[in-house]
Structure 1
């Protein structure tokens, strides 16, 4: 038996499976083992600038041609004086900066440090310290090299008589960690190993964006779909539009949601700090087990985020009551109030709003009034994703469709034009559509995105009334199809997704 530390707790055992027993861990997720740590000197990312008024420390935050120039030429600023001192910035120089020039205005934040070319004359190069947030042309594209992290008071005291006396990189060392990432629970242990089975985090951001993250990790894991030196990202909800904006820097351990642009809907955890971005909303931070983020480049990691998700749609009224009682939240039942009624709507909808208001109303529906469905993710992945986004089944346990029209044995539901544009043909019928199958009109036809269900088989037309080449089969009704016989235009139908075709009684 050897002694190891598991999630910072001392344990004894022979094999990995012995010591992780009782710890938060999802089967098949990554486990990180830190065997040891040593230190080595590294190329500095901090510079000590001594002026006639005192010392300033600049931290290099960027990776660019401008930074490469600085690293090779910083000594040229020694003995250079204050060239100007304005409301927004202070500049030392000049030196010659042989970089591509730009007339593009860019945004800079207080304490940013940049290189500039004045008057588009490369011999008029300067080292500039930003004193207030500003948008300005500094003659170089992406001119930022870092931020002022020490000596901010010195910056405010500089006058045209001051100059730089010396610039030196600070000696820094880096921890070199001997680690491994494994799923092998039969691994034999060695004395002193530090083992991490999960990471823990705290969420506190815009309620809708926090709910997006809680829905993503509701099953207890973060799936690494993208990995860089700076972050890991879970892409399962990519393209799901989400609001929110944050001016907070993306610090190490930050949890963010991409709120617009390419990759909207992705959730990130940062290994290294980055400046704020209008495209990212910071919603929380990892408070424990960052080692799993540092050393996992693929697979899944077990996560426990606080608070617990308090959206109870899909649970019974009785189950929801037990959840809310734990938090001292006043729970009012509406609709079908029986214990076994399934909750189809909740107000307020988002966890943080529930915790703040301490009150919640849940609308129940009898199980025999729900349409139980199976979705064909493997056979029609693009259409399945469209169907989930349209019904709300991406982040909720119960989906909803509004009846568009009903004719004969076919019920049609409203589409989501925003998401329907790229519905290529997939899983189209060959010679027959069976009763209860769910179809979506693809882009071969004019009315792309409409959803339909047939109440009887048909060997010519799909569930939306289109010929087979225009019909993507996305799923099927597995229980309670009879409720569709009574629906009218404008009615809303609630959907309960069933895995592997199992019925719900």
Structure 2
């Protein structure tokens, strides 16, 4: 039996199931299955180009039919030239009338131009970066399409690459023949297609070309999907949304049309911080900043349902060394080709800060400055999400643990067996009673004062057990227990006004 697995032909035995094809499918995430019958559906306005470096899917514009009619792009094209801004395939004859003036193009635009202003030597150009150029296009600019899948492929094209096949993409969204599933027992059919993951290319990243305009919003994308999964909180007709980091303030960096396969972050409103992937094109919106494009797996995006999750990766991977031992951080930086300068000294060092702090800025600069402290000055803690999820989330946001493996907060007061901290918590945040103690509080318990007291938001830890007051010296009913301090002996060394760096140690099981 012949099937397609993530676009590559593979063979499977007669009667094979999805589990035979994907031994690691464990039911916690879905994959897309497109049955052969779906391939007989109507053609769309999308065209797939199979090249020696990978597949590219373009969405055609009205200009495409003007120049090509009902035909497709010639399928015997070779790479004529390429630079950091564009790659050109051809030549072939066309009806273009050169305008002999430069036009502005955006990354992902597909342009019909001609060499030497000769229509008999027309070329198809793929814009690798936003720029202005004279490609011998018509007065209309010649944009005949936009890449919706495979943007990373255009950065890999080099001398010798060629287009080997061109075909119209058909619509397979009929759910009677296409679906998502996590069931390993799903039977396979001859000619079916299985898509296991979604691959996203970050906006501003193009191999050797790294732009930093979207650095902050892209960092939010990388953080949100760092665990390798997209959880569908809402599936609408035009988009799917991951709400795992909602609400989160995100900068509005780039407003652009939201085409099929576009990835945005909502920068305002109740769903701010949500990650959106679009199933079809809709206009731009002032609250949505563009952060990426689907390079593979648009089928999963179109078929996923609310409550499901699927595997996802973003290129480039996040570059964040905060929280790592210095030796491990240096090894990762060397592997990524990024130089390291140290700020701080001592033995057994831990990274507590990184500048620049975003992945795209670090890659563009090629180096980072790491702030380091001896491990004895970094306090390990665990947080109890099972019993105090809301308060733990407030604590992570206030200390920086929501975005990095190490956070910080100032020491406010120390007396007898109590140490109090004052993280910066927004006045609009309500700290409702949650996981309040009943009989006694064990030593090393970490707690936050809830809104029943004027000192709401205060964080504290006690060095001894207490059966009357919580770690912030408030009555039990005003105390939200949020975790445990693992390095209690380190806390006693800090003085009022000093900054304490805390590193979260994840609980096992």
Whether TM-score is above 0.5 comes out as yes
Q: Does 1:317 align with 2:326?
A: yes
Give the aligned partner of residue 10 of structure 2.
11
1:462, distance to aligned residue in structure 2 (A): 1.3
Give the aligned partner of residue 167 of structure 1.
none
Alignment of structure 1 residues 170-319 onto 2, 5 Å? 175-177=172-174, 178-204=177-203, 206-297=214-305, 298-319=307-328
**Contact residue 226 and residue 234 of structure 1 kept, 8 A:** yes
Q: Distance in 2 between matches of 1:252 and 1:420?
A: 37
Q: Distance in 1 between matches of 2:282 and 2:415?
A: 56
Q: Distance in 2 between matches of 1:346 and 1:473?
A: 31
Alpha-carbon spacing, 1:287–1:328, altered in 2? closer, same or farther (3 Å): same
- Structure 1 residue corresponding to 2:395, chosen from 376, 379, 387: 387
Alignment of structure 1 residues 5-404 onto 2, 5 Å? 5-13=4-12, 14-20=16-22, 28-36=28-36, 37=38, 38-39=40-41, 175-177=172-174, 178-204=177-203, 206-297=214-305, 298-336=307-345, 341-404=349-412
Q: Distance in 2 between matches of 1:422 and 1:295?
A: 38
SS for the counterpart of 1:486 is: coil
1:341, distance to aligned residue in structure 2 (A): 2.9
Taking structure 2 as the reference length, what is the TM-score of the superposition? 0.68
1:294, distance to aligned residue in structure 2 (A): 0.9
Give the aligned partner of residue 166 of structure 2.
none
1:299, distance to aligned residue in structure 2 (A): 2.0
1:323, distance to aligned residue in structure 2 (A): 2.0
1:188, distance to aligned residue in structure 2 (A): 3.1
**Contact residue 246 and residue 276 of structure 1 kept, 8 A:** no
After superposing the two structures, state which structure 1 stretch, 235-244 or 182-191, moved more.
182-191
Calculate the aligned-residue CA RMSD, in Å: 2.6
Q: Does 1:427 align with 2:426?
A: no
Give the aligned partner of residue 53 of structure 1.
none
Structure 1, gaps ≥5 residues long: 43-47, 49-150, 154-172
Q: Distance in 2 between matches of 1:328 and 1:415?
A: 36
After superposition, give the CA deviation of every residue in 1:260-314 in whole Å (9 maximum; x if it has no partner). Answer: 2211111111112221112111111111101111111132111110111111112
**Contact residue 342 and residue 372 of structure 2 kept, 8 A:** yes
Q: Distance in 2 between matches of 1:235 and 1:250?
A: 19
Alpha-carbon spacing, 1:288–1:487, altered in 2? closer, same or farther (3 Å): same
1:419, distance to aligned residue in structure 2 (A): 6.0
1:26, distance to aligned residue in structure 2 (A): 8.3
1:176, distance to aligned residue in structure 2 (A): 4.7
1:416, distance to aligned residue in structure 2 (A): 2.7
Q: Distance in 2 between matches of 1:363 and 1:375?
A: 25
Larger Rg: 1
**Contact residue 421 and residue 448 of structure 1 kept, 8 A:** no
Q: Distance in 2 between matches of 1:419 and 1:242?
A: 19
SS for the counterpart of 2:35 is: strand
**Contact residue 386 and residue 419 of structure 1 kept, 8 A:** no
Runs of 4+ in 1 over 6 A off after TM superposition: none
After superposing the two structures, state which structure 1 stretch, 317-326 or 273-282, moved more.
317-326
1:28, distance to aligned residue in structure 2 (A): 2.1
Q: Distance in 2 between matches of 1:303 and 1:394?
A: 20
Q: Does 1:405 align with 2:413?
A: yes
Structure 2, gaps ≥5 residues long: 45-61, 63-138, 142-169, 205-213
Q: Distance in 1 between matches of 2:326 and 2:341?
A: 10
Q: Distance in 2 between matches of 1:452 and 1:417?
A: 15
Q: Does 1:455 align with 2:457?
A: no
SS for the counterpart of 1:487 is: coil
Give the aligned partner of residue 495 of structure 2.
488
